[in-house]
Structure 1
Amino acid sequence: MMAASYSQMFAGRRILIVEDEYLLADETRYRLEQLGAIVVGPTGQIDVALQLIDDEHVDAAILDIHLEGELVFPVAERLVTLDIEFVFASGYDASVLPDKFKGFVLNEKPIDLENIARALFGPKRDLH
């Protein structure tokens, strides 16, 4: 018997998508909804993402690193403060991450929802 796919763990979860490339954000939204997730956003703007985190219940987030010339790290910091799981999804390698985020998963584009689900909902690793 095969083990269940991690991506099934998206079902019923509220996932924030922070991505400034419309087609990629829309494709990710669609794929998450197909897996039963409730999508918050998507948005490609830091201030809107921060407002969504304040206004909506968010279980986890997928964050693009570069958003229209800005870096997503203020959003990541808010998620850490609220103890909300997230992953970075980017075309850049881990060298762009500040030291305090080095332990977080960086999923290179194109987005692999199975790997993201494993990072968000799988067995936790000790980051300290």
Structure 2
Amino acid sequence: MTRPDHHEPSPLQLLKGKRILIVEDEYFVADETRRALQAVGAKVIGPAPSVEIGMSMIDQETIDAAVLDIRLEGETVFPIAERLHALAIPFVFATAYITTDIPEKFGGYHLCEKPTALAEIATALFTPKPLGH
């Protein structure tokens, strides 16, 4: 007999205690993402509204994962994606621009539509990927 309170853990539990960098230039989207992550127990780094600020946060902070908006004010987030990739820090792209061309080398990273679905992001960031993907 199983206990009635026994159930599969929520993907949101994967975010608890994780240090998540947010790179987003739209204040309200960044703030909504920050509040949602904090509500599930994540520690938010940022939000960073530009590549320059995001890069300095990567250099100054310990980061477990990142949520990146592809298009920032007049630039793309790909330099940050490059740095995170080199450091083996998982990240997802969260963007309203579904047609945005993501460089092929980042093809394995999950693309989420805005508004970001937190459980989907948690799964993409912290669930082991099959080898070769």
Q: TM-score range by the shorter chain?
A: over 0.9
Aligned residues: 128
User: Compared with structure 1, are the counterparts of its residues 77 and 124 closer, same or farther at alpha carbon in structure 2 (3 Å cutoff)?
Assistant: same
TM-score calculated relative to the size of structure 2: 0.91
Displacement after TM superposition at 1:103 (Å): 1.5
TM-score calculated relative to the size of structure 1: 0.95
Structure 2: 5+ residue stretches without partners: 1-5
Structure 1: 5+ residue stretches without partners: none
Checking the alignment, whether the CA contact within 8 Å between 1:94 and 1:106 is kept in structure 2 is no
**In 2: Cα distance, 1:35 partner to 1:45 partner:** 25
1:1-128 paired onto structure 2 within 5 Å: 1-93=6-98, 95-128=100-133
**Structure 1 counterpart of 2:75, one-letter code:** E
Q: Secondary structure at the match of 2:36?
A: helix
Displacement after TM superposition at 1:127 (Å): 4.7
Displacement after TM superposition at 1:37 (Å): 0.6
Q: Secondary structure at the match of 2:129?
A: coil
Moved over 6 A (4+): none
**In 1: Cα distance, 2:37 partner to 2:132 partner:** 27
Q: Which structure has the greater CA radius of gyration?
A: 2
CA-to-aligned-CA distance 1:52-82 (integer Å, 9 cap, x gap): 0000000000000000120000000000010
- Calculate the aligned-residue CA RMSD, in Å: 1.3
CA-to-aligned-CA distance 1:88-123 (integer Å, 9 cap, x gap): 000112551111111210001110000000000113
